[in-house]
Amino acid sequence: MKFAFFDSKSYDKPGFEAFGEKFGIKFKYFDTRLNSDTVNLANGYDGICVFVNDDVNKPVIDKLCEYGIRLIALRCAGYNNVDVKYAKEKGLHLVNVPAYSPYAVAEHTMALLLTSVRRIHKAYIRTRDFNFSLNNFDGFDLHGKTVGIIGTGRIGQAFISICRGFGMNILCYDKYPSDIEGVTYTSLQELFTQSDIISLHCPLNDETQHLINEKTIAQMKKGVVILNTSRGALIDTEALIEGIKARQVGAACLDVYEEESNVFFKDFSSHIVDDDKLARLISMPNVIVTSHQAFLTKEALSNIAETTCQNISDFFAGKQGQNELCFNGDVINCNMCK
């Protein structure tokens, strides 16, 4: 089995080489992302392996079908960058990795929150200059605060467990609530009005795009802290910036960004970044931006590689894998259709 591996990074290769050998899969690594201009690189392969910023749109899918590609293997949980409905109409199969390490993302979310409210990033810079002043470093206790968690899948549940350990009050919203002991589900409006901290752990789709917007920010507590380690377009960036300037939003911790595909995973340290919204966010003292790294642990990378290779192997062995995506009015995993 030969697979074209798009948007590859150095940290991807060890795991995929090891599990590729185990499952009999040969990967050809391309640094470039998949899009209409690079899809020709997939010609001659049995399938492709893509990540969060590869663009699998209709023209790309048409070319993949022309090249005889049968399988698109996503090495991530999200699939908002794939036109799944059109791919299924064209007879392409898709698999994803729904649970590579929920702990990695949940722990990074809490790390961002603690860094922000306790000014750890600023203290690090200050003490590097032998400045040991505590001026403007006053934070607040997480104990007793109310955290609103939107999306209670595996990552959301892992974050719930962490928040419990800090003695926080937990409100949750999910279109499909889970049976989680001690968790209070509520409406989105109630969550917005009652939460001191709001953390996003839901997928990006037509219903959730710009879930955080001018109207919903106005409903929130003054000084609310917003965390996003899910997908950038869950937040209307311009509305967030205005909310911060108006002091309605007290802090924002973002591992994802609405227009990240043009910037993230690249080194612009010696260049001028043309994205004015991102530049404004990064310049704000109460905003922390990390470059979509919440997933990046050794355990998660190994799980991603193993599950992706297992998905590929199952498909070519004619097995109905539990991670194959289907389209049934909405995009869901086949094992959830039963």
> Cα separation of 128 and 200, whole Å?
33
CATH number of 2-100+297-336: 3.40.50.720
Tokens read off for 184: 């209070």
Domain with CATH 3.40.50.720 in the chain: 2-100+297-336, 102-289
Q: Is 260 a catalytic residue?
A: yes
Active-site entry in 33, 201, 260, 324? 260
Active-site entry in 231, 258, 306, 324? 231
CB atoms within 10 A of CB 34: 27
Active-site entry in 93, 108, 154, 292? 292
- CA-based R_g, the chain, Å: 21
What's the pLDDT score for residue 262? 86
Q: Is 93 a catalytic residue?
A: no
The pair phi, psi for residue 74, each rounded to 5°, is -85, 130
Q: Is 17 a catalytic residue?
A: no
| 211-224 pLDDT per residue, tens | 999 999 999 999 99
What's the pLDDT score for residue 328? 60
Which residues of the chain fall short of a pLDDT of 50?
335-338
What's the pLDDT score for residue 326? 79
- Among residues 123, 144, 208, the alpha carbon closest in space to that of 173 is found at 208
What's the pLDDT score for residue 100? 86
- pTM for this structure? 0.89
CATH number of 102-289: 3.40.50.720
